[in-house]
Structure 1
């Protein structure tokens, strides 16, 4: 799955937190996804966010597929969280929307 395909799938699933802006930063050339709960949209635009998740594209794919546990990724440094940690915790519910 490409990042654009992921953005489309997340948009269709309503994969954002109401009223919150959460950025997933894949680093390097992979760019970002902005889960904008204020505007109810998912974009590939960078910007200010309440919470930023930093994770490699490969690790994100493993998380989304259920092959990598979010807590394990966080504890081993594969997933870094900047900003409001409670938003990151709520994202587990968002990820579950992608599996359906």
Structure 2
């Protein structure tokens, strides 16, 4: 498992404060791995999800650090979304 994924899991668990009750989401960090977010919080994994968000390592870090708005990243093509767009918007609100 990559350090990028491990650091992201720790950051996400702090932001989620206990979990994400809207369903299951997956972040795919290009070249690093995947993170699953659900009611139990964030963890490394590649399970099936209701929505999958994909981005480069740089874009993902910027989103987590609050330097990049997830909606703006999507609109500019830096973040792709596959699946439940409503759930992606809920998750963006948490980030």
Smaller-chain TM-score bracket: 0.7 to 0.9
Could you list the structure 1 runs, at least 4 aligned residues long, displaced by more than 4 angstroms after superposition: none
> Does residue 86 in structure 1 map to residue 89 in structure 2?
no
Q: Distance in 2 between matches of 1:67 and 1:19?
A: 24
C-alpha contact (below 8 Å) 1:17/1:36 kept by paired residues: yes
Structure 1 residue 79 displacement after superposition: 0.5
Q: TM-score normalized by structure 1?
A: 0.79
C-alpha contact (below 8 Å) 1:17/1:87 kept by paired residues: no
* 1:19-98 alignment runs, 5 A limit: 19-28=22-31, 30-37=32-39, 40-95=40-95
In the superposition, relative to structure 1, how do residues 79 and 33 fare at CA in structure 2: closer, same or farther (>3 Å)? same
In the superposition, relative to structure 1, how do residues 11 and 69 fare at CA in structure 2: closer, same or farther (>3 Å)? closer
Q: CA RMSD in A?
A: 1.9
Q: Distance in 1 between matches of 2:77 and 2:71?
A: 10
Tell me the matched-pair count. Answer: 92
> Does residue 9 in structure 1 map to residue 11 in structure 2?
yes
